[in-house]
Chain A
Amino acid sequence: MKVKEIAERTGARMLTGNGGSSREVRFAFSSDLMSDVLTRDYEDAVLITGLSNLQAIRTAEMSDIGVVIIARNKEVGREMVALAERNEIVLLKSPLSLFRISGVLYEAGLKPLF
């Protein structure tokens, strides 16, 4: 699924610069616990999280996760956006809850990682 479709289905706004909307992902993982995110292997994955801080982006960087959605329109700091851009991570912010984002994207065909 293209990032553009993810954004449309979840009402999300893209916070990082242009070029990310055509990126494709096949899998998703939802978690607020970065320790848990760090124990998994990812390929073509989106991280859906309610944790809006720098370490969520760092965790994506270390885990090779290319797309991050912040749930429930949480405040996203400029440093988070800058860190995501430096690491070519597409950062989105959705007004929906973690549960709803997960449900909408699951229904639309994104696969769970495990």
Chain B
Amino acid sequence: MELSYDIGGGDFVNAGRASSAVKGILKQLNISAVLIKRVVIALYEAEVNVAAHASAGKISVSITKDVIRINIRDKGPGIADIELAMQEGYSTASKEVREMGFGAGMGLPNIRKNSDTFNISSTPGEGTELEIINRLSN
């Protein structure tokens, strides 16, 4: 099953819609609650990151009998130092984002924590791409 969603940069009203839709689909597929939670927490954090930092983003979700693979690609400032960005507590979020309850430098580490495999790449000035893979094991 292939799904795709657009995310608007700066759009905190709709941030989370894709995660909500994916959660509904995974529930219908009878995937365990523990795995659903890992997938949707990682995806929701990524959606919030796009809303907080980028001008636009695209989510692609691929569900097979073995894995749930999510790709999030955004157009935005990118991340110059990924190692630094992955450190808990490091954040470049604006005051507005912090007022929304985010921007504490916890998102990327939490995405990694909730992924079996996590890949991140970025080109400063162009954007960032995340890959979140979780395996379905019975």
Q: Among the listed stretches A9-17, A59-67, A90-98, A100-108, which one makes contact with chain B, having 4 or more residues with CB under 8 Å of it?
A: A59-67
Please tell me if the beta carbons of A63 and B41 are within 8 angstroms of each other in the complex: yes
Please tell me if the beta carbons of A53 and B100 are within 8 angstroms of each other in the complex: yes
A82 at the interface (CB under 8 A from B): no
From known contacts A54-B12, A55-B12, infer whether A61 and B23 are also in contact, taking CB-CB under 8 Å: yes
From known contacts A54-B12, A58-B20, infer whether A63 and B110 are also in contact, taking CB-CB under 8 Å: no
Please tell me if the beta carbons of A35 and B101 are within 8 angstroms of each other in the complex: yes
Which bucket holds chain B's interface residue count? Answer: 20 to 34
Please tell me if the beta carbons of A33 and B101 are within 8 angstroms of each other in the complex: yes
From known contacts A55-B16, A58-B20, A61-B23, infer whether A38 and B103 are also in contact, taking CB-CB under 8 Å: no
Which residues of A have CB within 8 Å of B118? none
Please tell me if the beta carbons of A55 and B48 are within 8 angstroms of each other in the complex: yes
Which residues of A have CB within 8 Å of B101? 32-35, 51, 53, 55-56, 59
Which residues of B have CB within 8 Å of A18? none
Which residues of A have CB within 8 Å of B41? 38, 62-63
Which residues of B have CB within 8 Å of A56? 101
Docked CA distance A64–B103 (Å)? 22
Interchain pairs with CB closer than 8 A, number: 65
Which residues of A have CB within 8 Å of B45? 35, 38
**Chain B residues proximal to chain A, CB less than 8 Å:** 12-13, 15-16, 19-20, 23, 33, 37, 40-41, 44-45, 48, 100-104, 106-107, 110, 113
Please tell me if the beta carbons of B20 and A61 are within 8 angstroms of each other in the complex: yes
Which residues of A have CB within 8 Å of B12? 53-55
Most chain A CB within 10 A, of B16, B33, B103, is at B16
Interchain nearest-CB distance for A10 vs B (Å): 21
Docked CA distance A61–B101 (Å)? 15
Contact of B104 among A36, A41, A55, A79 (CB under 8 A): A36
Report 26 cross-chain contacts, Cβ distance below 8 Å, ordered by A residue. Answer: A32-B101, A33-B101, A34-B100, A35-B101, A35-B104, A35-B107, A35-B110, A38-B41, A38-B44, A39-B110, A39-B113, A54-B12, A55-B100, A56-B101, A58-B15, A58-B16, A58-B44, A59-B44, A62-B19, A62-B23, A62-B37, A63-B41, A64-B33, A64-B37, A79-B13, A87-B20
